[in-house]
Structure 1
Amino acid sequence: MPLNKRTLLKGAAAALLIAGSLATSFAPARADTLPERFKDLYEAAKKEGSVVFYTSYRQETSTQVLEFWRKNFPDVKLNIVQKQTLDLIPTIEAEKAAGRTNPDVVFISQRFILDDWKKRGYLTPYKVRDFGKIGGNYKDADGAYLATAATLLSAAYNPKAFPDKSVLPKKIADFLDPKWKGKIVFSDPQSAASQLTWFQTLLAHKIITWDTIKGFAKQDFLFTRGNAESVRLLVAGERDLSPLISSQNVITAKEKGQSIEAYILEDGVVTNENYLAIFKGGPNPTAAKLLEEVLTSAEGQELVANTGSYIPTHPDAKTPEGLPKLADLKIIVADQDIGGEASTKFLEQFDAVFNRQ
C-alpha cells in the first residue's frame, strides 16, 4: 500500500493556501466556522487572554497552527512550547515536582504516561463537542485525553532497487531471509522512540519473539540515529529496504521527489497516536478547553494532518491524499510502557543480542 502525500501547490497558489486562507479553507464543507461554533467559549477565554500549549508537533505544523489560531481567535494568545515527546515528559514531571503546572494543554504520543498522569490527578477530564464521534480506541472513556493524529510505523524501500515490489518481504519474518543480509537499514531503538515502540508492541502482541530479534542480528543491519537518516540512506542507495520507517519521514522525502516508498506488511501496522490532554491547575483553564475543542474538531485535525503528515482520528476529517484511513488498516495497538522500566529492560536485552555491550 504505497503512501504518498498529495502534490503541493507551488508559487503564488501555495502562498495563498498557506499564508492567506487557513481561516476559511474548511468553511465551504461546513455550515459554521470554528469561531461561530465556539463563540461562548471564546468569549470566556478572552478574559484569560492566553493559552499555553506543550506539543511534540514539527516546527512547520506549529507554525501553521499558530497562524490558524491568530486568524480565528486573535484575542487569546497561543503560546507554544515545542519538544519531542520523550523530552516533554521529564520537563512536565520536573515542573510538577517543583509545585508548578505551566502547560494548559499537552500533545504527546505516550498513552501510558497520560494514564499515569490521570491516576495522579494531573489531568482535567473534558469531553469535547465531538467526543462521541471519535472511536473508542482513540480516547479515554472519561475524557482525560483524546487522540487527534496518528502516524504509521510501516516498512519502506527504494523503488529503484525494487521496481517490482512483489519481491519485497511481505511479513516481518520474511526479513530474516539470508538474501536480505546487508541490505537492511534500521533506526536504533536506543535513540529512536518509534523503533522502540515498534519492537515492544510486536513482542507484547506475540507477532515477533526474541528469536525473531536474534534472527535480525544475523542480517547485518545498518543502524542509524533516527528515521530521517534511515530515509537518507535508502534514497542514496546505501541500503535498499527497512521493516520500519515512520510514514511522516517517507512522505516528507517523497514531497522532495526522492526515491522511496512505504508499504504495509501482512502482519498489520503499528500506529503511533498523538493525544491531547488538559492539565488540572493550568494557568488558563477556559482557554485550554477552547484549544482542545479546536484541535479535536474535524477542521483542526485536517489542518494538523496536512501540515504534519498525520492521519486524523475524526471521521469527518479528510485524510491527506495517499495515506490510508485508520478504519481500513489492520492496526496493532501500541499500548506499552515506552520509555519506562520495560523499555530499559528491552534495550539491555536488545544490546546483548546485537553484541553491543
Structure 2
Amino acid sequence: MKHKCIRAAVTAALAALTLTACGSSSSGTSEPVSGSWDDVIAAANEEGKVTIYSTQAAPRLAALEGAFEAAYPAIDLEVVRGVDADLLSKIDAESRSGKGIGDVAVITDVSWMDANNDTDAAGKLIGPNFDNPEYERDTSIIADRFFLEGAVLLGFGWNTSLLPSGISTPQDFLEPALKGKIGIVNPATSPTYLDYYSHIEKYYGGREVLEQIADQNPRIYPSNQPLAQAIASGEISAGLMADPMLPNKEAGAPVEWAAGEHIWGAKWYGLVLGTSPHPNAAQVLANFMVSQPGQDATSVGYSSALPDVEGSLARAQEVPDQNVEVTTGDGAERYRDELEKTFN
C-alpha cells in the first residue's frame, strides 16, 4: 500500500485546525472535532494516518486497507495484526501512559469490553453508518463505544491431500494414524478460544473428548491463523479450530473445512481507542468498517454485520454470545488452568 504524509507546509489556520482535531479533552480522552461529519472527514484528511490493531485475518485486513485508502486517499491506513492478549496488552499500556499509537482496535474479548464500558479506553462512536437501519444499532453497539464488525466461524479443517476422508466431528481427530499430525489452539491466547473449547465439551462428548485429543500429541498454535497455514502447508493433517481458510483455498492449497453439526462463532467488536493520536481518522475508519465497501472487504469467509454481503457465511448478529462462565473472571482462570493441564 502506498504511504502518504501530511503536507510539510500548512497555513496557520490549518495548523490550528489540526491541533484542535488531535487535542485531548479534559478527561484525557482523545476526541474528534466538534461539527458536522464533513468537518470530521476534513480533519481526518489533515491527520493523514490511522492505525488499526486487529485480530482479523491478514488477507481481510489487506482488503480493508485497499478499500479504505481507495475511499479516503489522503489517509494512510497502517495495519497491526495480533491476538487478543498481545493487542490488549498494548492498548492497556498506551492507555496508562496516555501516549497512544493505535487508533482503532478490533477484538473478541468480551470480558475486556465489560471491564472498560465506563472507562476512557474507548471513545463514543459518531459515524452516520452506525445509524443505518440494516446495521441494527440496538443489537450491534454496546455502550455507544463497541461496534459489531463481524464474526469468525471456527470448525474443523484438514489437508485434503493428507486426509481425503475429511473431518466431521472431534472424534475424527482420534484416529491412530493422526497421532502427532493434528493441531489445536493455545487456550491461554484469548477467552474466545476458551469459549470454543467449552462448546466442544458441551456438544461433542465432554471433557473426555478433549483428553482424548490431548493423547494424540497435538501441535499447539497461538491462534487459528497459523494453524490454518500449517494445514495448508501440510505441516499437520487437520486442525480442531480452523476458519474456512478461503484465502488458502483460492491460492490453490489442498484444504477443506466443516462447521460441524453445532456451529460456533466469535463476534468481532471494534472500538475507537481513547488515546488515539488521530481521533478524526479513527472515527472515519470505524464508520467505513460498517459500510457496504468495508463489509465487502472483511466479511468474505466470515460473518457480516450487514445483510447480503457477497462471500459472507452468516449474519454476525445471529452468532451466539460467549459463555461468560468460562470467559470472564475466576471462571475463565479456572477453565484456562484446567485446559492447560489437559493439553500440557
Fold equivalence (TM over 0.5): yes
TM-score scaled to structure 2, two decimals? 0.71
Structure 1's unaligned 5+ residue stretches are: 1-17, 20-39
Deviation of the 1:185 alpha carbon: 0.9
Name 1:311's counterpart in structure 2. 303
Structure 1 residue 277 corresponds to structure 2 residue 271: yes
- Output the CA distance in 2 between the equivalents of 1:326 and 1:300: 15
Is this contact kept in 1: 2:302–2:314, CA < 8 A? no
Deviation of the 1:147 alpha carbon: 1.7
- Output the CA distance in 1 between the equivalents of 2:144 and 2:328: 24
Name 2:282's counterpart in structure 1. 288
The residue type paired with residue 294 of structure 1 is F
- Of 296, 300, 317 in structure 1, the residue corresponding to residue 294 of structure 2 is 300
Structure 1 residue 222 corresponds to structure 2 residue 218: yes
Deviation of the 1:71 alpha carbon: 3.3
- Output the CA distance in 1 between the equivalents of 2:157 and 2:294: 29
Name 2:73's counterpart in structure 1. 74
Name 2:335's counterpart in structure 1. 346
Deviation of the 1:252 alpha carbon: 2.7
Name 1:129's counterpart in structure 2. 129
Name 1:209's counterpart in structure 2. 206
Deviation of the 1:107 alpha carbon: 1.9
Q: Which deviations, in whole Å up to 9, do the C-alpha atoms of 1:108-138 show, x marking residues without a partner?
A: 2223222222132432333643444235796
TM-score scaled to structure 1, two decimals? 0.68
Q: Structure 1 residues 276, 231: CA separation in 2 closer, same or farther (over 3 Å shift)?
A: closer
Deviation of the 1:327 alpha carbon: 7.4
Q: Structure 1 residues 279, 208: CA separation in 2 closer, same or farther (over 3 Å shift)?
A: farther
Name 2:111's counterpart in structure 1. 112
Q: Structure 1 residues 338, 52: CA separation in 2 closer, same or farther (over 3 Å shift)?
A: farther
Name 1:261's counterpart in structure 2. 256
Q: Structure 1 residues 251, 74: CA separation in 2 closer, same or farther (over 3 Å shift)?
A: closer
Is this contact kept in 2: 1:150–1:312, CA < 8 A? yes
Is this contact kept in 2: 1:42–1:287, CA < 8 A? no
Q: Structure 1 residues 181, 104: CA separation in 2 closer, same or farther (over 3 Å shift)?
A: closer
Q: Structure 1 residues 185, 195: CA separation in 2 closer, same or farther (over 3 Å shift)?
A: farther
SS in 1 for 2:50: strand
Q: Structure 1 residues 233, 328: CA separation in 2 closer, same or farther (over 3 Å shift)?
A: same
- Output the CA distance in 2 between the equivalents of 1:58 and 1:236: 17
Structure 1 residue 199 corresponds to structure 2 residue 208: no
Structure 2's unaligned 5+ residue stretches are: 3-35
Kindly report the root-mean-square deviation, in angstroms, between the aligned alpha carbons of the 2 structures.
3.8
Identity of aligned residues (%): 15
Aligned length: 303
- Output the CA distance in 2 between the equivalents of 1:304 and 1:181: 33
Q: Structure 1 residues 240, 283: CA separation in 2 closer, same or farther (over 3 Å shift)?
A: closer
Deviation of the 1:231 alpha carbon: 4.1
The residue type paired with residue 313 of structure 1 is A
- Of 78, 81, 84 in structure 2, the residue corresponding to residue 83 of structure 1 is 81
